[in-house]
Structure 1
């Protein structure tokens, strides 16, 4: 699939659910242009903000792109505001950026990398997010090492309780 951009105007809407707060509605005919089989991953830029790596989520006759409260606060966006939305198909390997420190671990640890790549794409993104949500490279490295240790120890079966214990142990080794 060739990558392209599409820009549209849309309001910020509020979900009627507590699970997610806000979203931008994308008409089905526009959203369908970005879907390739099961892959609905996109990069969404709102009012020239930092990019949001997300997915087009089916919602009745539209697709929704989730927008977090902290993102809205950071960019002074409120419910009902009409925003300029730029969509781009996310053609990256994982559907989100991977921290360099974690990529290096994957490149160097063949066994851990094998277990990681046997996980579903969603679980891979969850682990990448765990590493990437901290900005300190030493903390990223500690989390990445704990993840690789856990994957090898559990032979690729994720146990988030055990993983969290390992992450705390690795963070305390500093």
Structure 2
């Protein structure tokens, strides 16, 4: 674990908004092979599961606009930061509703676990970003349906159509 102060900076592009500049020696101490996943706590805010991304002479951790707004943060703020190695199975919290579906559907689980870690996190995020458990279950069921229908492939346009269909069933 490492604690230090960092400045919130703005990217000079439209793809990402803000990041924390993490000094290279601190960031490098958390990298294990290809694994750059960390849990970052900014001040008293809820932890962020993230990856250390190389950016010039520092590492960066992306900070979303909604996180900034929710926590009253602005570009240029100096904040206290605590980093710890993320040793979770997926590099982010798994919604209980989605884990139940994976536990109950061997074929869907097999296809899910054959995906890259990044694609797994994308699907976990899709389920976890909604707080309503019924909506999480609908999304999870649609994801499992899609993975089995496509033999483990991911077509996000088709998946979005399935998610809408499953949401309308409720």
TM-score interval for Structure 1 and Structure 2 normalised by the shorter chain:
over 0.9
Structure-1 residue corresponding to 2:119: 123
The answer as to 2:24 corresponding to 1:28 is yes
The SS at the match of 2:137 is helix
Deviation by residue 1:72-125 (Cα, 9 ceiling, x = unmatched): 111111111110000011000000001000000011100000000000000000
User: How far, CA to CA, are the matches of 1:146 and 1:124 in structure 2?
Assistant: 15
Tell me whether 1:155 sits opposite 2:155 in the alignment: no
Return 5+ residue gaps in structure 1 as ranges: none
- The superposition leaves residues 10-54 of structure 1 with CA deviations (integer Å, 9 ceiling, x where unpaired) of 111111111111111001110011111101001101012101111
Aligned equivalent of 1:112: 108
5+ long unaligned stretches in structure 2: none
- How many aligned residue pairs are there? 170
Normalising by structure 1, report the TM-score: 0.96
Give 1:60 deviation, angstroms. 1.1
Matches within 5 A, 1:61-140: 61-140=57-136
> 1:48-67 CA distances to partner (integer Å, 9 max, x unpaired)?
21011110000011100111
TM-score, length basis structure 2: 0.99
Distance 1:18 1:162 in 2: 27
Runs of 4+ in 1 over 6 A off after TM superposition: none
Alpha-carbon separation, structure 2, partners of 1:77 and 1:67: 10
